[in-house]
Amino acid sequence: MAVKDHIWAILLKLMKRWTRAQLLPLLGRHLSNVKDDSVILSIGGYGIVDDYLRLRLSKSSAKLITFDIDPSHQPDILGDIQHVDLTLADLGVQPELIVALEVLEHVGDPEKSIVSCHTALRSGGIFIFSTPWIIPIHDKPNDFWRFTPHALKKMSNCFKSVSIYARGSYFDSVIALLLRGLFVSRLEAKILMTMGILLSISKPKPRLYPELEAHESTIGYVTVCTKGI
């Protein structure tokens, strides 16, 4: 691998760790409550998310199953989140926890995907998913949506309870946008990205805020849904 590829990989990892700050600790808190015989399904978590889940579950008898639409990611199950309920039913799998971080903006029908995850879960199961708000178009041509908390609440009304948290403040969302200059070829974007890196180093990582009305611009949102018994 060329030196520039190493630098790219490091910058990409640092950017994702900053823009997705607090998401993995949130997962960790829920993982600490799962039973030893539980099944955890990770959808589209190739890379940082799946690596974190494997590490956390390495000393547990809970089973991690990876699910992805991209065969190059070599998931345990190849499939579409919009039909995850049908796919898992055919395999006789019923998870206690489903995780889908930064996935729903890339699917044609996010509401159908949420309902499908609700159906796939065991009674009392939990679905955790994150969505972007301030972020440029990425992973073209499969980038379709940006979500407000009002939309997330509406789309998740099949669940018994829904908690939505803002990811970062207005200022954090500006930094996240600067960091995304990593994906733009123009010199101006690289200069702005450098500013973003310096700002991200000099301030605390973004927090999660339950006070949604106080945060009109954020990096995105994370939603924790519980299925009824």
Strand, helix or coil for residue 167 = strand
pLDDT tens sequence across 68-117: 999 999 999 999 999 999 999 999 999 999 999 999 999 999 999 999 99
Angstrom distance (rounded) from CA 131 to CA 38: 25
Strand 126-132 vs strand 97-101: parallel, antiparallel, or unpaired? parallel
- Which residues on adjacent β-strands are paired with residue 163? 224
pLDDT of residue 221: 97
pTM score, whole prediction: 0.91
Closest to 111 measured CA to CA, from 157, 70, 69: 157
Find the helix packing angle between 110-120 and 84-91, rounded to 10°. Answer: 30
pLDDT of residue 5: 63
Q: Residue 109 corresponds to which tokens in the numbers above?
A: 């029908």
Classified by CATH at the fold level, domain 3-169+209-226 comes out as Rossmann fold (3.40.50)
pLDDT tens sequence across 124-161: 999 999 999 998 888 889 999 999 999 999 999 999 99
Average pLDDT of the residues in 215-224: 94
pLDDT of residue 101: 97
Angstrom distance (rounded) from CA 133 to CA 166: 10
Angle at 140 between CA 14 and CA 111, to 5 degrees: 95
Q: How many helices (H) and strands (E) does the chain have?
A: 8, 8
Sequence ranges of the domains in the chain? 3-169+209-226
pLDDT of residue 3: 62
